[in-house]
Amino acid sequence: MSEEKKSENINKKGTGNVSRRTFLKDAGFVVGAPAIGTIAASSGQASAQDRAAETQSEDGSTVSRIHTEAATTIELTVNGDKYRFTVEPNWSLRQLIRDEIGLTSPKDWCGGLGACGSCTVIMNGRPVLSCLTLACECDGANIETAEGIAKAGHPIIQAYIDNNAFQCGYCTPGFVCTSKALLDRNNNPTEADARDALGGNLCRCATYQQHPPAVLQAARELKKT
């Protein structure tokens, strides 16, 4: 079934490639509750009706927003694209990014303890752990993932390649996000700054020595532009 299904998918999406996730989903391997969130308008154009409903509930209301199991609607920007989702209170940001948006760079290593840094994303300029961030608290947030950083052609990506700063690559998106957040704040980091900033990212292949040179290289590249 796979070959046929794959080509169908490619034609439908018209993107020329199919992610493993999309494939699994379409092939019916993902079981459990159907996702209730949908990308309403990736251009950010919400329908007039939706807007009216929001205005009513938010304007002049003295009661706080209560997010029951029945879910709540949030709008957020991920890698420059605007999304609107209906999320449940217990969803983590990582769950939203991976399962709903389909960006698989925030990894799960420590199981949601906040111990490994592999789920790092940049939220409003801060490198945060998406596994310990509730999706319903991300209304209005501006989020960057490793996909966005790569798409924007940030020099940190080439620097990581040049410095062989990974082996298996599982932890790399987390490192890339953390490094990028550092470079956004500090355009002239020292090696100590880089070590300090990356202190919360674990790498089971122990590529630690290669990360600070990669960050410093990216900083030099950024200064040239």
Partner 1 sequence: MKTIKKFTHIDAKTVDEAASILRAGNASVLSGGTDLLGTMRFEVLPDYPEVVVNLKSIPDLEYIKEDASMLRIGALTRLEDIAKDETVKTRYTALAEAAHRTATPHIREMGTIAGNICQLTRCWYFRLPDNRFNCVRKGGRQCYAVMGDNRYHSIFGAVKSCFAVNPSDTAPSLVALNARIKTNKRLIEAGNFWDMAVPGSTVLGADEIVTEIQVPKPAAGSRSAFIKFAIRKSIDFPIVNCAASVLNGNARICLNAVYNKPYRATAAEESIKGKTINEESADAAGAAAVESARALPGDRNKWKIQIAKTMVKRALLACS
Where does this chain bind partner 1 (CB under 8 A)?
64-69, 72, 88-90, 92, 94-95, 108, 111-115, 117, 120, 126-129, 131-134, 136-137, 178, 195-200, 202
The answer to whether the CB of 93 falls within 8 A of the CB of 134 is yes
Q: Which is nearer to partner 1, 89 or 169 (CB)?
A: 89
Q: Which is nearer to partner 1, 108 or 162 (CB)?
A: 108
CB of 15 to partner 1, least distance (A): 28
CB of 129 to partner 1, least distance (A): 5
Host H or E run for residue 47:
none
Tell me the three state secondary structure of residue 134: strand
CB of 109 to partner 1, least distance (A): 9
Facing residues of 128 across strands? 121
Q: Which is nearer to partner 1, 9 or 178 (CB)?
A: 178
Q: Which is nearer to partner 1, 17 or 68 (CB)?
A: 68
Half-sphere exposure of 14 (CA within 13 A, CB side): 0
Sequence-separated contacts (24+) of 24-32 with Cβ below 8 Å? 27/1, 27/2
Query: If we measure between CA atoms, which residue out of 65, 67, 76 comes closest to residue 101?
Result: 76
CB of 190 to partner 1, least distance (A): 15
